[in-house]
Structure 1
Amino acid sequence: MPRDTSLTAFLSTPFTAAAAAERGHTLSVIRRWLREGEVRRVIQGVYVGNHVPDSPTLRARAVTALVPGAVICGRTAAWLWGITAAGREGRDGRPLPVEVIVPRAATPPRRSGCLGRSWLLGRGDTTTIAGLALTTPLRTAADIGRSVGSEDAVVILDAFLHLRQVTKRQLEGVVDRFAGYAGVRRLADAVRLADGRSANEDESRLRIALARAGVPPPEPGWRVMSAFGRPLHRFGMAWPLLRLGVDIADIADIADVADATGPPGEGPGAVARQLGHVGAWPAVRVRHRHIAGSTWRVVECGPHEPTRHRETVVAQILRELRGTAGAGAQAA
């Protein structure tokens, strides 16, 4: 299809049939573009050029093109705020629906790929990023706490706290604001469990699992410091008095080693990819480490293992806690 610069620009952002008609492109033209692979359907009634990669941002723009005045909210807004723990796909592997709050006079859209809300918005609840209207980090966190399952909500609130986009005090205040609203009890529980010292989804989910198992609460993100105040090591979580810590490996951490030790000619990160995707890294192992003059017993987990083999990891930590506490009692 011959394409001029203005047409390329038009196809580079989501458009509706009505918007295309204003430029003289009828529905039959759109159908031809679809057949020829020049464009694709983002959601029902909204299209984009096939050269544009899919992303939550693109789908958010598609919904706002369809529903003027809509405000992006929920998981979609969290993703736009950089909270990757909010997820891009559901458990079925399909993209999560774009969540929007529609103007009070509008009817929430009912179509695949979009989840419309009729929530009320207060002053200061919205902002604009790159031309997209969305809820603020605090309002986004509050809505997720009210509407998302408890564990996922805690993981997402942890991320907001870790990135310092909200504070614990602000979250506690928003619980009072939504008193009497649907889901406020769920929000209060998520806020109570949220802790921004957990740096990623694995650390958050493992901390929640340990709490449910009745394990004495650890110190998330515990740093062992030198005598001069220099950080020597960070544990995902630790019981400092017992000198017991948990390390959760990251694919990027393994890549640093793999790049230096991997087979020649396979490119950077080849070993890391094998460990991360084939499962060569053990679910959990225990070893001693000498840090700042003390011997720590360290439970080491492979990437994502606290999620994939949660029961195994929790059981190992429980064994180490009992063993370490027992050894301390005998020494006393």
Structure 2
Amino acid sequence: MPEQKPEQVQLQARVADELVGKRLDQAIAQLFPEYSRSRLQGWIKDGCVTVDGEQKRTRDKLQGGELICVDAELALIEHHQPEPMELEIIYEDDDILVINKPAGLVVHPAAGHADGTLLNALLHHVPDIAQVPRAGIVHRLDMDTTGLMVVAKTIQAQTELVVQLQERSMGREYEAVVMGVMTGGGKVDAPMGRHKTNRQKMAVVHMGKPALTHYRLLQRFRAHSHIRLKLESGRTHQIRVHMSHINYPLVGDPVYGGRFRLPKGVSEGLIKTLRGFNRQALHAKKLELFHPVTGELMSWEVDLPEDFQLLLKALQQDLRRNEES
């Protein structure tokens, strides 16, 4: 594969009257909205932005009429190699890619997972995505969580999708099986942050970032519940932490699930299924967003994976057997 060179970015625009008195970083964020504010601020600090031929600071105010020029490079993702991997692509166009992520696939390289990740697969499937920060990944699913993810194929698309995430206009719905019998739906409005003693875990903490999860009951079983959830924020491990916080941890969750429990009189078949379900029972079932270029409202929904369906079937059979006895 030929070596890719960083993309040259050359932009220019004149400061309009409505930007008079604005800081330089605020003005160029409006002039060049296809790039993130943090990226533009970095270019200012690196001397890649000039105002009438002179370098300025991010906080310098504009008078109006100045010519702003940007001459920068988009660094490629370093040290990550493209890898041919089979992806279940639900939708793809020139701007976005929607996939159905399987269990066991790590989204981004990290300690212990240097390769074989979704990012490596994206670099192979869309080589130019190397010019987009994090290979266009705007939100993540945990390694063993399945379901829908959207990936941006361009910087413009990524910037717009990040805004939708921040403004909560991107709809994400999940299904889960939790331990315990719920009486109905509700919400968990509890701030989250790093666990005070185990930094690898997240937790509900008083001074954490706001986190809100809505849930509704789909079906009750003898000792479990099948629920649908909707996020209004996107904190790491949010659903897993929130459900554990209200004492309905996800089936199979190795981190937040607590002690393995079985209902009384449970059948051997269900025991085998529950013991064999060695991941959190969580699936990103529905994704809804506005297309980052056309503005069209788009929506996708995918079936539950086979192991999740088998878990529900075993719980249903156990419930039926108990009702008949």
* Shared fold (TM-score, shorter chain, > 0.5): no
Please report the TM-score for the alignment, with normalisation by the length of structure 1: 0.29
Query: When you count helix as a share of all residues, which structure comes out higher?
Result: 1
Please report the TM-score for the alignment, with normalisation by the length of structure 2: 0.29
